[in-house]
Amino acid sequence: MHPDTAIFDMDGLLIDSEPLWYEAAKEVLQGLGQTMDEKAYASTVGLRTSEFIEHWFRLYGIDMGLAGAAEKDITDRVIGMVRERGTLMPGVNGIIDLLKSHGFKIGLATSSPLELVDAVLERTGLTGRFAALHSAEHLPYGKPHPQVYLDCARSLGSQPTRCVCFEDSFNGMIAAKAARMKCVVVPHPDTLERPVWHAADLTLASLGDFSPSHLSAL
């Protein structure tokens, strides 16, 4: 069954925001007396901020009573940085144009809050490019649970088996495959050769590398 719908993740795929999330998380954790390196941060990419906080607070033995304030602090810092210096990833507009020229419905499904989605779309000029926007912020479970992808497909009037998702994280890839959707991953360059990406239908170094031949192969 040929796909007719494309659903995009946001952070690290459409906008180069993972360094901003790392910067914000590192600063907030430092304020609580803890340190985090990039390798440790990368292990939780794709989780919601609340789940990220819960994981690291439990690991570091930080009082969970401080979790809500830390989550808001991280999110507010990232929104501010996106508005000031968020950068669109290469190939984003090109791939959306290509998919739309082939009649695809286009959606966005993210673990990030809708307040950040609005900031990203405004900063990058992507406002109006997606027919459906969904956040896992208030869902019972975030990625790697598939619900945010299933909800986005439902809003678009699409069958999950006719959707192709574009992701950059392991947790996002698992969510897409659990939803019974095809998945194209564009990992961080440092992780491109990792065997975990073999679970995806296609692995690319950049969205700009996606071509009509890739579309036909899917």
Residue given tokens 């019972």 in the structure block = 140
Q: Which of 4, 9, 63, 151 is catalytic?
A: 9
Average pLDDT over residues 91-105: 97
Write out pLDDT tens, residues 154-207: 999 999 999 999 999 999 999 999 999 999 999 988 889 999 999 999 999 999
SS (H, E, C) 35-94: CCCHHHHHCCCCCCHHHHHHHHHHHHCCCHHHHHHHHHHHHHHHHHHHHHHCCECCCHHH
**How confident is the model at residue 69, as a pLDDT?**
93
CB–CB of 84/123 below 8 Å?
no
Percent of the chain beyond pLDDT 90? 78
pTM: 0.89
Q: Which of 11, 73, 151, 201 is catalytic?
A: 11
Write out pLDDT tens, residues 39-82: 888 888 777 888 888 988 998 999 999 999 999 999 999 999 99
The overall longest dimension of the chain from CA atoms, in Å, is: 52
Rounded Cα gap, residues 43 and 39, in angstroms: 7
Say whether 118 is catalytic: no
Say whether 9 is catalytic: yes
